[in-house]
Every structure is written in structure tokens, then in C-alpha cells.
């Protein structure tokens, strides 16, 4: 029988009533002839509660025991979902990560998937099981310890299972009814997309869209796993939600598919750094070692033999960046006049695979922002993306103006 993967997020399984609602959706797919692998998250709020218990018990905790505790939320949901399906006369069984076994690296709380052997679950399907309910977010290390994949890891689990079992599709059920051209809370004209290319979704996810976890989209693109994002609370339909797929499956797409934003950005500038080979490597090696996620980078010539280096990073990593750069200055590894941090900026981006074949997108974007009196502080581009840093107070205006300018409220 064909295999379908269905993943239910925390809000979709937050209560027993919602678990029953999700189970009914699974039952509909079983009736269509699918063998179904259901990936479940912990019930909404449960993981935060478990993390709180760990922090209160042991502030300097053992990461192995942290994983043992926080992974338990998914185990509870998996068992309850399997019981609910059994009550509906659907042959179901719950599976914890180690039972599959989902094999991972030893990086506790941030493990990466190495392999998902299909033999155990496939054998059970052959014996009459119709639904395997798998606890998301968890696996087992080479040492035999429970590991977790990091926040949002259940999305990654679902895509990995879809790839391993060559599933027809991977449905991600959440509390939104699909992928929108921009955040509907900011722009009331935001439109739900019927389809979006893997590359576009990956850019949007990395730029602040919260619908899908970035690692899951990367995995889906690599293994060509067709993803469907849809709501647990809307009417069930074969055409609901947004399909994330290969661009060959999209007949015609707009030049720009969406506008993304990230509110919590900071712009940091090192003034008067020596302009010679190796300086950039020194700066960004220090930031990397301090686990600072650098995004946009601009280098300016300020005076003969000296340069200014500007980069962006999340606001909650500014202090870490300041310590790392001050440390290499004190050690005489790097000399600079001043480090200036601006934490009142945001990042606004336009994304679209159509940019590959059509010119003028950057010029149009910059003119729209100029007409609104919005000054651009930093610019970065890729083949299908243009991002700018602007003052945070202009974020909503910038998103709305760009959404209107590229007519994203209208279908292709």
C-alpha cells in the first residue's frame, strides 16, 4: 500500500478532544487505502514545562538527562494517539524513537538524523498494522542514549520518515491553514498560496516565516519530499493548505512569491579595521566560535589602509558578539576603533524563483521603500532573494508597501 506521513504539531494535539479530531483525520486517510505514519509533537506547552523542570532541578544540567526528560512529552502524545485510533477500530501502535530505531548523532539537544531503518515498521504494516504513531523530535545515539533534534524537530522527523519510506506526501498539520504571501497579522491582504517551490519556502523559513522549520525544508528539498502545510482546524480536503514542491510542479509563478520579515535583528559595525587579507576570517571565526549567527555582511572603505565591517545578527546574540570581539582585541589579535551596535533594526526580504529570469526587482523594491521614506541600512542578495535592514519602526509599513507593489494579493 502507498505510505502517507501525517505530522501533528503541539496545538493540534493540545487536548484529548484535539487528539480525537486528529485521529479522525488519520482514519479518513486509512480508509483511502494508505498505510499511515503519524508523527506527533508534545501537547502544547508540555515541552516548555519539562524544560522548566530541568532548569529548576539542575541549572548546569547533563545534556543526556535533559534529552531523557524533554523527549517524554512526545511519548505521551504518541501513546494517547494510538489508543484513540484503536478505539476507532484502526489498527495502530505507538513507536518511540529508539524502537524504530531513528539513529542520530550524539549531539544531545541538537542531534542530526543519520538513518531510519524501515524494516520494523514495514514488517508491522505487513502484519496488519495500518498506523504507526511515532514520537517526533527524538532518536537514539550510537551510544544507545535518547537524543533530541532541537526545537521544531518533529517537522524534521516527519520529512525524514517520508524520505525513508518513499511516502506519497508528508502532511504537516498546524494551527495555520497554509503558507501566505506574508504575515497576515501585518498585512490584511496576505494571500494563501496553493503551491510554493522548495527554494522559496526555504528562504522564507530562514528569513523569519514560522510555518515550517528550516531543517525540515532543507531535507524535503534534498529528497524531493512533497510537503503539504494545512490546518488541523479546517475542513479536511485533498486541496486544502499549501503544497511545497519542486518548481517543475508549478506551472506559472509570480516573480516575487512572498515578503518575509524578522523583527529581532541587530546591525553591528566594527569601525576602522585594518584592510588586509585575513581580517574578515579573524572576525568571523571569533563570532562563529561564540555561536553568533551572522547573516548580512558589508565592508566599506573608510580611509587609506582601514575599513569598516558591518554585519547583522539576532538581537539576543549581541552581547555574545561584543564579548567575542572585545576578547580578540584585548589579546592583540584584532585592532578596531569602536564597535557600534544598533538593536533597533529589522530585516525585510522579498523572495521568488522568478527573480532568476526577470530583472528590475531590486530597483522596484528600493524605489518602493524610498517613496515611503524608508532608509536602507544594509542590502544583501541571492539568486532568489533580496534582503534589507531598515529601522524597526518601519517594518510593517515596508512589508505592506512591498506586498502591494508586487501585487501579491492577486493570484498568478
Binding site for ATP: what residues are annotated? 7-10, 174-175, 180, 185, 210-211
- Do residues 81 and 133 touch, judged by C-beta distance below 8 A? yes
Burial of 199 (0-12, 13-18, 19+ CB in 10 A): buried
Surface-to-core class of residue 300, CB atoms within 10 Å of its CB (0-12 exposed, 13-18 middle, 19+ buried): exposed
Please, what's the largest Cα pairwise distance for the chain? Answer: 78
359: CB partners within 8 A, 6+ apart: none
Which of 18, 13, 38 minimizes the C-alpha distance to 129? 38
Q: Are 208 and 260 in contact (CB under 8 A)?
A: yes
Question: Annotated binding site, which residues?
Answer: 7-10, 47, 74, 174-175, 180, 185, 210-211
Evaluate the CA torsion angle 305, 276, 379, 317 in order and state its sign.
Answer: negative
Query: How many Å apart are CA 97 and CA 102, to the nearest integer?
Result: 5
CB 230 within 8 A of CB 192: no
| Binding site listing for substrate | 47, 74
4, 78, 80, 237 from 90: Cα distances, Å? 15, 15, 14, 21
Amino acid at each position: 500500500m502507498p505510505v502517507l506521513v501525517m505530522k501533528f504539531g503541539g496545538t493540534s494535539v493540545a487536548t484529548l478532544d484535539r487528539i480525537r479530531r486528529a485521529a479522525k483525520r488519520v482514519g479518513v486517510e486509512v480508509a483511502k487505502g494508505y498505510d499511515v505514519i503519524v508523527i506527533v509533537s508534545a501537547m502544547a506547552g508540555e515541552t516548555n514545562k519539562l524544560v522548566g523542570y530541568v532548569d529548576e532541578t539542575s541549572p548546569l544540567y547533563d545534556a543526556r538527562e535533559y534529552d531523557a526528560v524533554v523527549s517524554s512529552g512526545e511519548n505521551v502524545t504518541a501513546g494517547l494517539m494510538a489508543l484513540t485510533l484503536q478505539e476507532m477500530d484502526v489498527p495502530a501502535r505507538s513507536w518511540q524513537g529508539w524502537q524504530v530505531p531513528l539513529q542520530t548523532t550524539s549531539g544531545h539537544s541538537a542531534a542530526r538524523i543519520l538513518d531510519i531503518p524501515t524494516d520494523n515498521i514495514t514488517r508491522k504494516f505487513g502484519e496488519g498494522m495500518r498506523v504507526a504513531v511515532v514520537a517526533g523530535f527524538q532518536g537514539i545515539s550510537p551510544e544507545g542514549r535518547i537524543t533530541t533534534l532541537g526545537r521544531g524537530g518533529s517537522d524534521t522527523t516527519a520529512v525524514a520518515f517520508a524520505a525513508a519510506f518513499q511516502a506519497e506526501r508528508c502532511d504537516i498539520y498546524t494551527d495555520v491553514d497554509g503558507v501566505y504571501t506574508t504575515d497576515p497579522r501585518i498585512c490584511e491582504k496576505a494571500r494563501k498560496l496553493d503551491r510554493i517551490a522548495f527554494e522559496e519556502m526555504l528562504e522564507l523559513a530562514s528569513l523569519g516565516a514560522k510555518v515550517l522549520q528550516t531543517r525540515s525544508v532543507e531535507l524535503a528539498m534534498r529528497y524531493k519530499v512533497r510537503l503539504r502545510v494545512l490546518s488541523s482546524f479546517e475542513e479536511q480536503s485533498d486541496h486544502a493548505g499549501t503544497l511545497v514542491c519542486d518548481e517543475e510542479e508549478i506551472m506559472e509563478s509570480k516573480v516575487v512569491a512572498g515578503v518575509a520579515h524578522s523583527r529581532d535583528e541587530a546591525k553591528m559595525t566594527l569601525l576602522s579595521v585594518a584592510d588586509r587579507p585575513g581580517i574578515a576570517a579573524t572576525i568571523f571565526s571569533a563570532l562563529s566560535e561564540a555561536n553568533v549567527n551572522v547573516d548580512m555582511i558589508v565592508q566599506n572603505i573608510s580611509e587609506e589602509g582601514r575599513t569598516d565591517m558591518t554585519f547583522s545578527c539576532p538581537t539576543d546574540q549581541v552581547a555574545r558578539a561584543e564579548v567575542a570581539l572585545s576578547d580578540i582585541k584585548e589579546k592583540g589579535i584584532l585592532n578596531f576603533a569602536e564597535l557600534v551596535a544598533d538593536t533597533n533594526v529589522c530585516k525585510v526580504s522579498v523572495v521568488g524563483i522568478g527573480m532568476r529570469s526577470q530583472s528590475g526587482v531590486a530597483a522596484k523594491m528600493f524605489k518602493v521603500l524610498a517613496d515611503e521614506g524608508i532608509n536602507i541600512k544594509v542590502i544583501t542578495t541571492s539568486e532568489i532573494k533580496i534582503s534589507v535592514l531598515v529601522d524597526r519602526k518601519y517594518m510593517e509599513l515596508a512589508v505592506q508597501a512591498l506586498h502591494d507593489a508586487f501585487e501579491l494579493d492577486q493570484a498568478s
